[in-house]
Structure 1
Amino acid sequence: MEKINSIYDIVDADALQEMQDNFAKAFGMGFISVDYKGNPIGEYSGFSEFCSRGREDSAFKNLCYQCDAHGGLHTAITGKPHIYICHAGLLDFAIPFIYDGEYYGAMMGGQISTYFEDVRMDKGLERVIERKVNWEKNPELVEKYKNVYKMPFDRIEAVMNLMFNHTQRLLKEGSHKRAQEALEVKNAQILEERSRRIELEKSLRENQQFSAAAALKSVNLFSSLNTISRLAFIEEAKSTENAVYVLSDMLRYTSEKRDSQVSTVGDELTYAENYLKMQRIRLEDRLNFEIDLDEDFYNIACPFMILQPIVENAVEYAVQPRKEGGNIKIKGVQRGEDLIISIEDDGNGISKETVENIMNEEFSLRTEVNRYDLHNINKRLTGIFGKKYKLKIENVSEGMGTIVHLKLPVRSNLVK
C-alpha cells in the first residue's frame, strides 16, 4: 500500500471540501481543514466577516494560527473533538483526522459566539491564549464582532459531534477504498505473475520439442564434422579445419544446453562470437566485429540462445545487404543492479513500425518467424527475470544504425 503523506491520500479532497462547505452554510459557522503542522489546506468555508477582516492583520492572523495549533495538538493527543475559546473570545473546535493511529490534521470549526456569559466556568473552558492584539480599538472590527452569529453552547457541541461523525465516515470510506485499491493491485500482480508463468512454461515446452529434434540431428552432424575435419587436416586446408572446429563448438554448446532455459553471459558470448567467426569466413573483410564485455560479468545468468539471434539479425539486415559490409559491436555495462548488453550495428537503422511489429506476438505468429525471434527473446527475458528485464530496440541516430539492448540482473542470478 502506498505511503500516506497527506489527509488527501485517505479522504477525497472534493468530498471533504463539499462537506465543509455544506456545514458552513447549514450552521453559520466557519470551517477550515489543516494539516498535521496546522497549515491550512483546501478552501475556507463560511468565515465570518470579523475573522476574515481580522486575519488581514498579520499579528491577528498569527494568534489565530496559534489557537488552531493548540486545538489541533489537543485533539491529536486525545483523538477526540476539542472545543476552546480563541484569542478573540469566540468559540472554536478541532476535529481530528486520525487514520491507523496516525494524526494527519484536523477540521477547525467555529468562529461563533454563545449566549452563556459564564460558559468558561460552566463547561470548564479556558481561553487558549491571552489577547495580545487589541482589536477592540478598531471600530470596524468592533462592528463586525457584533454581527458574529450566536448559538447556544449545547448546539455548538452538537454540530461539533455531528461533524466528527461525518469525518469518521469519510475516513472509513477512504480506508475501505485504499484497501480495495491495494487488493486490486495485488490481484493484478498475481494475474501478471500467472500469465508470465504460463508464457514461460509454453516457451519451455517449445524449447524441449526443438531440443529433442536437434538432439537427433546432432549425433550425425558431429560424426560428419569429425570426418570433414580429418580430411581438411590431411589436405592441409587450414581455414576449412578451423571453420569445422568453430562449428563443432557451436553444435556442442546447443546440444549440451538443449534441456536448459538458462545459460551464462560468458557461454552465450562465446557462442555469438563463434557465429561471427563463421560469418567472417563467408563475408571476409565485409564483416568486422568487436566485443567489449568485462569477464567479471561472464558468470551472470541469462536465457539460453539469447545473443546469437540478435547478432544474426545484424549480419542479415545491416551487413550482408551492403556492398561495403558493416560493423557489429557487442558491449556490456553495469547500471546499478543491472547489466545492460548492447548489440550495435552501423546499418540503415530500423523504423518505429518495424520495431512495433517485431515485438508484437500476433504479427510474429502470422509471419511465421523462427522461434528465436526478438519477440520470443523478450518473452523469455521477462518470463525468467520479471517484467523489468526486457529487450529494447532503438536507432543509433536518424536512419543510421540499430542498437538492441538486453537488461539482466547482476546479483542473485549467478550460475554456479
Structure 2
Amino acid sequence: MLNNSRNLNEIIDVNLLQAIQDKLAEITGLAYNIVDFKGNPINNYSNFCDFCSKVRSTEEGMKICYQTNAHAGLEAAIRQQPYVFKCPAGLVDVATPIIVNNNYLGAIFFGQVRTNEDKVDPIKKSNYHSKMCKNNYDLLQDFNKTKYIDYSKIKSIYSLVEIIVKLLVEKSELISVQEELSFNNIKLFKEKEEKKRLEEKIKLYELNSLQMPISLDFMLNTLSTISSLALIEDAAKTQDMIYSLSELFRYNSKNIGTLVSLEKAIENIKIYLKIQSTRFGERIKYEIDIDERVNKVKIPTMILLPFIEYSILNGLCPKKEGGLIKIKGYYDQKDAVIFIKDNGIGIEEDVLFSILNGKCINGSLESNLYNANNVLIEYYGEEYKAIIKSEVNIGTTVSFKLPLA
C-alpha cells in the first residue's frame, strides 16, 4: 500500500489542505498537522498546544513524535479509517489516512487533548510521559492545561475530517485519470479498448464528482463562516453549523452512486439551504413545496444541488438585496416535475447556451450544471433534460421531469 515513488504534495493540493486544516483548527480549537507516510510533517502546524511544542523542541521528543506519527498513520491506513490513540506523551490524537489509488501517502493528525474515553489505548507502552514530567513542574502544568474534550465530539470531528480527505482524494484521482486518458490519446491511440475503459472511468468520476464533493469552494466558505461564528458566540450556533455540515457530507458520501427518494434528497437540500442562509443572512430566502405524491420518486443523489447552488451563488448573491429561491415538486400524469425559480440577476442567453452545450465552462458551478443536465439525459432520456429559462435582472427558472415508475 505504501507509495515511495511520488510525494504527497505531488498528488494532493497541499495548499488547499493547509487552508482547510487552519480553518478546522480555528473552529475546533484543536491542533492539526499533515505528515507523509514516514511521519514527517509536510506543512505548517496549526494550533499546537504549549505542551507538545515544548516536547518537540527537544531532539528526543521530536524523534518520538515523528515515529509515533509514522506508526499511527500506517495503522490508520491498514484499518482504512481514522485511528484514535494515546501518544507516548499521554495525549489523545487521531490519524486520518490519505490513500490515493490504493497507495498510502500520508495522514492528517488532530488532537493533543485529554478525553473521558478509557478505551483509547496507548499506541505503545511507554513511561515517556512520567519521565518527562517527573522533574519538570512547568511541563506538567502545561500538560494539565491541555484541552479536555468529550470523546463523542472527537468522533464527530474525525468523521468530518475523514469526509474532507475523501473529497480531496476523489478530486486527485479524477485528475490522475484525466492525465492518463490524455496520455493514451497521444501515445496509445490504437488501443481502443483501453481508451474506452478510461472514458467510462471518467464518466463515473464525473457522476461521482456531481454526487459526492460539494464544491471545495463551498466547503472552505462554510468553514470560514463557522470560524467567524466561533469568535462571536459561545457556541451553540457554531455547533449546529458543524453538525449541519457533517450531515451534508455524510449524506453525500453514504449515497454516492445510488438513487435516493426525492423526499430524502430534499432533506439534504434543506441542510444546504440552512447553511447558506446562515452564511448570507437575510439576503437568501427560500420556499419549498413538494407534493407528497412524488416524495418516493427515485433520483440520482446530487441531481438537485447543482441547479440550486448555481441559482444562489450566481443568481441571488450578486444582488445587493439578495432574493428568493422557490423549489416545487408536483405530480403531472406519469411524471414528477421539479421546478426551481429565483428572482436573481439571470443568465445572458449566449452564456446559458454555452453552459448547456459544454462550450463555456468557467468554473465548478458551470461544470456541475452541465454535468447535472447530462446525468438527467443519460438516466432518463432526452425528453427528461432540464429546461432553463432566464431573463437578465428578472431571474431564472429551471424545470425537469422525473419518471414516476
Fold match by TM threshold 0.5: no
Question: In terms of Rg, which structure is larger?
Answer: 1
**Could you state the TM-score of these two structures normalised by the residue count of structure 1?**
0.42
